[in-house]
Structure 1
Amino acid sequence: MHGQPRYAPGFSHFDYADPSAPKGGVFRNAAVGTFDTLNPFIVRGRAALGLGYVSESLMQRSWDEPFSLYGLIAESITVPDDRSWVEFTLRPNARWHDGVPITPADVLFSWRTLRDHGRPNHRSYYGKVERAERTGERGIRFTFKPSAKASADPDAPGDREMPLIMGLMPILPEHAWTTREFDRTTLEPLLGSGPYRVARFEPGRSIVYERVPDYWGRDLAVNRGQYNFAEIRYDYYRDDGVALEAFKAGAYDFRRETDPAKWATGYDFPAARDGRVTLELLPHGRPEPMRALIFNTRRPHFADRTVREALGYALDFDWMNRTLFHGAYRRTASYYPNSELAASGPPGAAELKVLEPFRDTLPWQVFGPAYVPPATDGSGPAGLRGNLRKAQDLLAKAGWTVRDGQLRDAGGAAFEFEILLVSASDEKVALEFARALQRIGVTAKVRTVDSAQYQARLESFDFDMTLNRWTSTLSPGNEQIYYWGSEAAAWEGSRNYPGIRSPAVDALANSLATAVDRDDLVARARALDRALTWGHYVIPLFHLTADHVAYWSGLKRPAVTPVYGMVIDAWWMAE
């Protein structure tokens, strides 16, 4: 995206992959919940995990750079300095699993289909193409619509990320869709071109992928040393507690633990003590997911920023971290935690240049020190008392006062809402938060539902508050519009869960893709971070700074861990 790529032409393999890794073995993995479709490209249904192994894109991402792509289905890429178009030339040996060559017609079909019927982010991205055409026997050119200048900086160039976004577009076989409806869920495996294909499955219970023996791309540099397992299996479990016990019993091979309490107390079992299971902390340099209690600002209670700010004072992170999580977490204070993209201190000159046009529409705090969540002394209810008084003062300013033991508005309506969860492991956080709210007269009911119901309610924004997360890369761009943009607030299936509708946030998010170099991108990301955090659209939770992984002794990994963290596709089974 910016600067020079890490790997020069003719490189042999990514540094985090071992080309001498043996092939073979069955890699058994776990998932929580269920699935009801094998089509991952539409909003409907809950797709099985692992379907990314079946499909491919024109280019492959490397995980030891912020955002660089290398040829996969495409053997060459041409792009002008202003990035107003991109042209891909396909490899002549690229094949679908049925042996049919991948052609420019397939690429054009994929673009049209995903633009018209794909997920909201696909419709947004691919709608920015003004013209798509075949060039020669194996070439395709995409010309982009003239981008409106981001109002945050009238002199900024247009969207510079689109050539890379087109390089990551999933490529679909036109001949396999002539008699099928694309926008319908299906349990018929899709034809792909990737290193694996669906071998067998039990709907909602398990799915197995087998390595394609004559996979056309097995000798490419971007694949060498990867996709080493003969089979990859996902078994689905009712909840994570059951999944952990299954791992300890040897039912699957690898587990990434995200709960520090389980990591501290749940892994003292015979196989871990005698070395048959390895426990490791693998550091990385990527932004950690932004996990938060998310306000649905479409609900009248949460439309008021002051109310949202007030409720944030009721979360006692310091006490929960000490008593529930063994002190392992860090409090999240940014939408890009654990990275240089996170705002800190007062805004610098480059950030102020981006923010200044919105001084009249953004909260005044955006132009001062970066947001820091309320803290306590970790002692529990007594230590939270001061924060709750601040919450009550803010709520009173917003027209809410306690009467008859309940917080009520001027008309007497009580302040009540539901916290929607999908994981039982999140209940302890939500319940502690609800107990603190009760002390200021707010009634919060915690409800945990199954994964299918949760996904349906999340995608239709049918919740008051939920606990979820966003994942960003070291090079945020167009996906941020899908996360925070005003239009996305009305798209069912988008990730603008809070329903943010702010022209300033729109402009700041749009401006990320116009960054001309890394420093410019970092300044714009920090400016957006300030606008989001001071908007109080969420109550930030916490994050780890390393991957906690456990795996059985038959599973081996390369010596190098890239900046984005471990890449399981580069692991292998001992011979």
Structure 2
Amino acid sequence: MTRPIFAATPVNTPVHGLSAFGDLKYPAGFKQFDYANPDAPKGGIIRLQPGDWLFNQNTNTFNTLNTFVRTGSAPPRMELCFDSLMSGSLDEPDTIYGLVAETVTISEDRNSFTFRLRPEARFHDGSRITAEDVAFSYDLLKRDGHPTFQLILAEMAAAEALSDGEFRLTFSGQQSERTILAASTFPILSKKELATKKFDSGHLQPFLGSGPYRVGRFSAGRFIEYERVEDDWARNLPFRNGLYLFDIIRIDSFSDRNAAFEAFKKGETEWRGEFTASVWATEYDFPAVLDGRVIKREFPEDQRPSFYCKAINQRRERFRDLRVRQAIARCFDFEWINRNIFYGLYRRNQSPFESSPYKAEGLPGPEELAILEPLRGKIPEEAFGEAVVQPTTDGTGNDRRNLREAARLMHEAGWTLKDGFLHNEKGERFTVEYLVNDETFLRISPGFIRNLRSIGIDATIRQVDPSQYQLRLIDFEFDMIDVAFSLGATPTRDTLMQFFHSSTANLPGSNNYVGMADEAVDQLVDIAARADNRQDFTIAMKCLDRVLRARLDWIPNWGSANRRVAFWDKFGFREPKPDYGFPVEALWWYDEEKAKAIGK
């Protein structure tokens, strides 16, 4: 018999924080996070090229300032303008602490959460954040918000303002056990302001926020500046103390990576994560690097599951056969690409949960088999053997052994070679359009396309502009794309559902790009969600990993053990970086002496 959710947290008792398994690091009344620096100066500007983003955000362009809806393209970091009931820490895997809410109280049945709001919490116009604003925000996000919000709030039964300073969030009892960890971090919007505005993507005026930054200057599709709020209501709380120190965070939009790199070389942008191995290996030899004005270094990757892969859209019937996906995977010669294009800087990914304890290794142990055995016959038999790894190649770019096996698999799946291309019994040609939004992929992918065509697949690669690419992802209008994601250190059921659950297979804007709809996978997601301790959760996640790898819905690409970063030497920062996140715009600060030394 499993314990109830948050079993280590007392019911009917106000607490300052929640953790999935009860292991809070910071006590009530703590003053700062350990990774913050209250002695660091405030001021200056960081011109940032972000390597991650949320919701409908786009690094290449933007046409809306509403980042909380499905459509449109918003600039990265809009979330910095909005506060939430609670906030996570970067040195714990699954803990949240009260932000706008000073405390939270769990009900006896553990389906209701009552938040006592801080009376000093304010929007940027000085008006108080009330429980009415919070209730309005949750109803709005559930009804009209981005699929991320809609999925997590699917079992929300009520969002109630009990008084100006007390809010209650109630779930149906069918919610994920840890839904509240995500739900309580959602943005709070002003009910009064939105009473006269549509909540859609047609906004190039920012909504009223309450976070550490507000929107400053911007030009749609070109750049945006976020200005630090001087009279920030939460500036003395531990969530801001020693963090969010730059006066201005500027993000420029670039049509492609080459343009972004050239802007960095000129000093027009000042911080950059480098994701192109050839650039890292050969192009950081410009004068500012050679004379020390630009620092090139590596930081440890976050200790959270991540994956970079090719997503094959199984809403197209021809991709539903596992043998077809295995054949496509065998045409991808990682060894050749890594040696000839990536300078040997990458390793082959094998798992959707790389860089985490959830990546399965070797044969399943007794505890894993106890979960997997009841699913025998519903999951690939390979899930009961050694954890599936992708076949290696001879590194020639044309491994005949792998290509022969790929051809055999396609024939076994019912595809016959005719006039140089594979056809099914209906006479339909097997086609694959590989959709990309950056010319980098045009340089690294010809060998993959050539191998696909060599076995009879009519394969093409198509680059589209960022706006069209975003629209096609939202509506799942593609055959195959590259996808990179980092999940939470302790992924909730809602997060796993976004990628792997049948309920999101046809939800526009979800992250279930492959259209996965498998009852056995759904069961494994539920088993992981019901785990009441970290050990059982890890075991369940390893079982999920084994099945996902055996299914091969996502063909693993490559990854690195470290983050490759370059920046103009005008910043201060504490080391080591936190284990579960690296938001430099919040962690770093402007160092005036360093900036003067390099003329910045």
Name which of 475, 490, 502 aligns with 1:460.
475
Alignment correspondent of 2:544: 528
User: CA separation of 1:23/1:138 partners in 2, compared to 1, >3 Å: closer, same or farther?
Assistant: same
Shift of 1:137: 4.4
| Matches of 1:263 and 1:329, distance apart in 2 | 12
Alignment correspondent of 2:22: 3
1:543 aligns with 2:559: yes
| Matches of 1:429 and 1:508, distance apart in 2 | 35
Number of residue equivalences:
563
Give the AA of the match of 1:62. Answer: S
Alignment correspondent of 1:514: 530
Shift of 1:380: 3.0
Alignment correspondent of 2:10: none
Q: Counterparts of 1:305-454 in structure 2 under 5 Å? A: 305-381=322-398, 384-454=399-469
TM-score, scaled relative to structure 2: 0.91
| Alpha-carbon contact 2:274-2:280 (below 8 Å) kept | yes
Per-residue CA deviation, residues 253-281 of structure 1 (Å, 9 max, x unaligned), is 10011112111111111111111111111
| Matches of 2:529 and 2:107, distance apart in 1 | 16
Name which of 171, 175, 178 aligns with 2:188.
171
Per-residue CA deviation, residues 160-186 of structure 1 (Å, 9 max, x unaligned), is 202212221211111110111113421
1:132 aligns with 2:167: no
Alignment correspondent of 1:150: none
| Matches of 2:107 and 2:237, distance apart in 1 | 26
Alignment correspondent of 1:28: 47
Shift of 1:476: 0.9
Shift of 1:512: 2.7
| Matches of 2:252 and 2:290, distance apart in 1 | 25
Give the secondary-structure state (helix, strand or coil) at the position aligned to 1:169.
coil
Alignment correspondent of 2:78: 51
| Matches of 1:509 and 1:560, distance apart in 2 | 33
Per-residue CA deviation, residues 288-345 of structure 1 (Å, 9 max, x unaligned), is 5311111110112212121111111111111111111011111111001011111111
| Alpha-carbon contact 2:305-2:358 (below 8 Å) kept | no
| Matches of 1:504 and 1:495, distance apart in 2 | 19
Alignment correspondent of 1:563: 579
Alignment correspondent of 1:251: 268
Shift of 1:427: 2.3
Name which of 107, 110, 115 aligns with 2:142.
115
TM-score, scaled relative to structure 1: 0.95
| Alpha-carbon contact 1:419-1:430 (below 8 Å) kept | no
Give the secondary-structure state (helix, strand or coil) at the position aligned to 2:33.
coil
Give the secondary-structure state (helix, strand or coil) at the position aligned to 1:534.
helix
Shift of 1:99: 0.6
| Matches of 1:294 and 1:33, distance apart in 2 | 21
Alignment correspondent of 1:573: 590
| Matches of 2:305 and 2:22, distance apart in 1 | 24
Shift of 1:545: 1.0
| Matches of 1:343 and 1:142, distance apart in 2 | 36
1:268 aligns with 2:295: no
Alignment correspondent of 2:506: 490
User: CA separation of 1:184/1:322 partners in 2, compared to 1, >3 Å: closer, same or farther?
Assistant: closer
1:18 aligns with 2:34: no
| Matches of 2:110 and 2:562, distance apart in 1 | 36
Alignment correspondent of 2:3: none
| Alpha-carbon contact 1:254-1:551 (below 8 Å) kept | yes
Give the AA of the match of 1:95. Answer: R
User: CA separation of 1:503/1:396 partners in 2, compared to 1, >3 Å: closer, same or farther?
Assistant: same
| Matches of 2:370 and 2:166, distance apart in 1 | 41
Per-residue CA deviation, residues 23-77 of structure 1 (Å, 9 max, x unaligned), is 0001112364110000011011001122011011111111111111111111111
1:100 aligns with 2:119: no
Give the secondary-structure state (helix, strand or coil) at the position aligned to 2:239.
coil
Give the secondary-structure state (helix, strand or coil) at the position aligned to 1:56.
coil
| Alpha-carbon contact 2:313-2:479 (below 8 Å) kept | yes
| Matches of 1:185 and 1:89, distance apart in 2 | 34
Shift of 1:82: 6.4
Give the secondary-structure state (helix, strand or coil) at the position aligned to 1:372.
coil
Shift of 1:507: 1.9
| Matches of 1:335 and 1:85, distance apart in 2 | 33
Single out whichever of 162-171 and 406-415 deviates more from structure 2: 406-415
Shift of 1:451: 0.5
Alignment correspondent of 1:501: 517
Alignment correspondent of 1:155: none
Alignment correspondent of 2:54: none
| Matches of 1:348 and 1:134, distance apart in 2 | 49
Identity of aligned residues (%): 40
Name which of 177, 180, 185 aligns with 1:160.
177
Single out whichever of 224-233 and 74-83 deviates more from structure 2: 74-83
Give the secondary-structure state (helix, strand or coil) at the position aligned to 1:366.
helix
Per-residue CA deviation, residues 421-451 of structure 1 (Å, 9 max, x unaligned), is 0111122333221011122111211001110
| Alpha-carbon contact 1:402-1:441 (below 8 Å) kept | yes
User: CA separation of 1:336/1:375 partners in 2, compared to 1, >3 Å: closer, same or farther?
Assistant: same
| Alpha-carbon contact 2:65-2:201 (below 8 Å) kept | no
Give the secondary-structure state (helix, strand or coil) at the position aligned to 2:551.
coil
Give the secondary-structure state (helix, strand or coil) at the position aligned to 1:292.
strand
| Matches of 1:54 and 1:416, distance apart in 2 | 45
1:282 aligns with 2:299: yes
Give the secondary-structure state (helix, strand or coil) at the position aligned to 1:418.
strand
Per-residue CA deviation, residues 459-484 of structure 1 (Å, 9 max, x unaligned), is 10111111122321220111110112
Per-residue CA deviation, residues 398-443 of structure 1 (Å, 9 max, x unaligned), is 1112222222223333222210001111223332210111221112
| Matches of 1:80 and 1:101, distance apart in 2 | 26
Alignment correspondent of 1:298: 315
| Matches of 1:88 and 1:353, distance apart in 2 | 39
Instruction: Please give the root-mean-square deviation of Cα atoms over the aligned residues, in Å.
Output: 1.6
Give the AA of the match of 1:36. Answer: N
| Matches of 2:320 and 2:556, distance apart in 1 | 18
| Matches of 2:354 and 2:418, distance apart in 1 | 40
| Alpha-carbon contact 1:476-1:512 (below 8 Å) kept | no
Q: Structure 1 unaligned runs (5+)?
A: 148-157
Alignment correspondent of 1:208: 225
Identify the structure with bigger relative contact order (alpha carbons < 8 Å, sequence gap 6+): 1
| Alpha-carbon contact 1:60-1:222 (below 8 Å) kept | yes
Single out whichever of 323-332 and 428-437 deviates more from structure 2: 428-437
Shift of 1:235: 1.1
Give the secondary-structure state (helix, strand or coil) at the position aligned to 1:171.
coil
